[in-house]
């Protein structure tokens, strides 16, 4: 493009003479030069803008890291992981419940409840009365049975006295042996009747003792489903629920793979929702069954008695799964593709090698390398995705930059 503009001096001079305002030829030339410089400057600015726009539009196609020129070696940061002892932790959640829950109902004849001695949340001892049942009728029956025992004893004593007198007369021939046999039988029947009456009396006392509802063992009362005036009987269902010895447990749901790493006696720390209090416990039972739909099993963690542990509540458990000695790497060093997890290591010739690995425990300090490394390798710490196998590099140990 030609930005130059020619000036016809003869035409300018003629025009100037017609208007009467004649300019000198030198002034007209200077004005033309200024216009020429202005046009050139504008053209330069436009060309620079076009070039800048092309560079910006093509910037996205540029690689983030340009490949090194021939003879230039990339510098990478490496780390030697070594071997560390790592304590495995399994985090699980679950529901709190009584370790041994005892439902208590009416085991006797039942009747009208006179009073209830305990409420939910109370601790009771073995044999303590929980509720008292009216026994006015049963008490009279017991008195009747006691009187019958006395009557049967009197009959037995009379039969024994008659037999003793008859034995004295039989030697004199006044009473036959048949009469003696009959009196002996009468005496034996009277003694048996005494035993029957005594058994009936004891049965009545036992039935009366079962009228009151008592705690079969010491523990924490979880539920109370009875009130004074209520009529109860063997079909009344559960009247009280007690956690034996107040012991609780957490039904922790654990993945199938983690469940295989647990055993009875494994320690655990349980934190109920809504509190920062931590309770020490241990796994006392590992579920032999896996839920087919969710692929989860249950680890039952025994806990001490505490009012802060409420059955039905939610809690989190951190379960120890044993100590492991193995290399540990930060997440930035771990790469993965369709073949699995791997890292880049720098060999003795300062060349990059791929090393397939298996990951183990994960914690705040890094990832355990369960297989693939022995801890003495120089592992590329970061930016491994921009390297290629066999590439020559200059390794710099972390912390020595």
Residues 111 and 228 in one domain: yes
Q: What domain range is 297 assigned to? A: 247-323
Determine how many CB atoms are found less than 10 A away from the CB of residue 234: 11
Predicted TM-score (pTM) of the model is 0.51
**Phi, psi for 342 (deg, rounded to 5):** -160, 170
Please determine, for residue 19, whether its predicted confidence score (pLDDT) is greater than 50.
Answer: no
Please determine, for residue 22, whether its predicted confidence score (pLDDT) is greater than 70.
Answer: no
Picking from 398, 353, 352, the residue whose alpha carbon sits closest to that of residue 73 is 352
Please determine, for residue 16, whether its predicted confidence score (pLDDT) is greater than 60.
Answer: no
Residues 165 and 293 in one domain: no
Choice among 40-54, 110-124, 214-228, 387-401 with the minimum mean pLDDT = 40-54
Q: How much is the pLDDT for 150? A: 92
Strands (E), 263-347: 267-272, 279-286, 296-303, 314-326, 328-329, 335-337, 340-346
Picking from 115, 189, 201, 185, the residue whose alpha carbon sits closest to that of residue 150 is 201
- In this structure, what token pair is assigned to residue 1? 């493009």
For 266-296, write each residue's pLDDT tens digit: 899 999 998 889 999 999 999 888 888 888 9
Residues 237 and 262 in one domain: no
Q: How much is the pLDDT for 353? A: 92
The average pLDDT across 58-63 equals 44
Residues 238 and 108 in one domain: yes
Residues 116 and 224 in one domain: yes
* pLDDT category of residue 185 using cuts at 50, 70 and 90: very high
CATH code, domain with 236: 2.40.50.100
Query: String of b and e for 19-52 (b: at least 16 CB within 10 Å)?
Result: eeeeeeeeeeeeeeeeeeeeeeeeeeeeeeeeee
Answer whether residue 93 is part of any domain: no
Please determine, for residue 72, whether its predicted confidence score (pLDDT) is greater than 70.
Answer: no
CATH code, domain with 182: 1.10.287
**Spatial separation of the C-alpha atoms in residues 276 and 269, rounded to whole Å:** 12
Q: What is the DSSP letter of 212?
A: S
Residues 260 and 366 in one domain: no
Answer whether residue 43 is part of any domain: yes
Residues 226 and 342 in one domain: no
Answer whether residue 94 is part of any domain: no
Q: How much is the pLDDT for 31? A: 61
Boundary of a domain, candidates 300, 323, 346: 323
Residues 230 and 107 in one domain: yes
H helices of 135-176, in order, are 136-170
Boundary of a domain, candidates 210, 225, 259: 210
Instruction: Give the total number of structural domains in the chain.
Output: 5
């Amino acid at each position: 493009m030609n930005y130059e503009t020619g000036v016809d001096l003869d035409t300018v001079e003629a025009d100037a003479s017609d208007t009467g305002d004649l300019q000198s030829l030198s002034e007209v030339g200077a004005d033309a030069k200024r216009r020429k410089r202005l046009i050139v400057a504008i053209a330069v600015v436009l060309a620079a803008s076009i070039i800048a726009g092309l560079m910006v539009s093509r910037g996205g196609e540029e690689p983030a890291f340009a490949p090194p020129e021939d003879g230039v070696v990339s510098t990478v940061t490496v780390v030697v992981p070594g071997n560390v002892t790592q304590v495995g932790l399994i985090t699980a959640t679950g529901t709190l419940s009584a370790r041994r829950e005892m439902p208590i109902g009416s085991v006797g004849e039942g009747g009208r409840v006179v009073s209830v001695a305990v409420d939910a949340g109370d601790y009771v001892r073995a044999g303590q009365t929980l509720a008292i049942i009216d026994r006015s009728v049963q008490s009279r029956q017991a008195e009747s049975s006691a009187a019958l025992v006395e009557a049967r004893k009197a009959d037995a004593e009379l039969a024994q006295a008659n037999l003793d007198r008859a034995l004295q007369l039989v030697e004199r021939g006044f009473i036959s042996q048949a009469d003696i046999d009959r009196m002996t039988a009468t005496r034996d029947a009277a003694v048996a009747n005494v035993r029957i009456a005594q058994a009936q009396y004891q049965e009545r006392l036992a039935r009366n003792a079962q009228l009151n509802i008592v705690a079969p063992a010491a523990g924490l009362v979880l539920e109370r489903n009875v009130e004074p005036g209520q009529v109860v009987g063997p079909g009344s269902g559960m009247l009280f629920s007690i956690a034996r010895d107040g012991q609780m447990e957490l039904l922790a749901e654990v993945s199938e793979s983690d469940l295989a790493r647990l055993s009875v006696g494994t320690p655990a720390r349980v934190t109920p929702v809504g509190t920062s209090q931590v309770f020490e416990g241990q796994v006392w039972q590992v579920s032999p069954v896996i839920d087919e739909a969710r692929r989860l099993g249950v680890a039952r963690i025994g806990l001490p008695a505490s009012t802060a542990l409420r059955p039905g509540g939610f809690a989190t458990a951190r379960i120890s799964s044993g100590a492991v000695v193995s290399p540990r790497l930060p997440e930035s060093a771990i790469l993965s593709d369709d073949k699995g997890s791997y890292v880049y290591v720098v060999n003795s010739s300062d060349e990059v090698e791929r090393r397939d690995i298996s990951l183990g425990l994960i914690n705040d300090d890094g990832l355990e390398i369960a297989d693939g490394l022995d801890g003495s390798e120089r592992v590329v710490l970061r930016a491994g995705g921009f390297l290629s196998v066999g590439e020559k590099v200059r390794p710099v140990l972390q912390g020595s930059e």
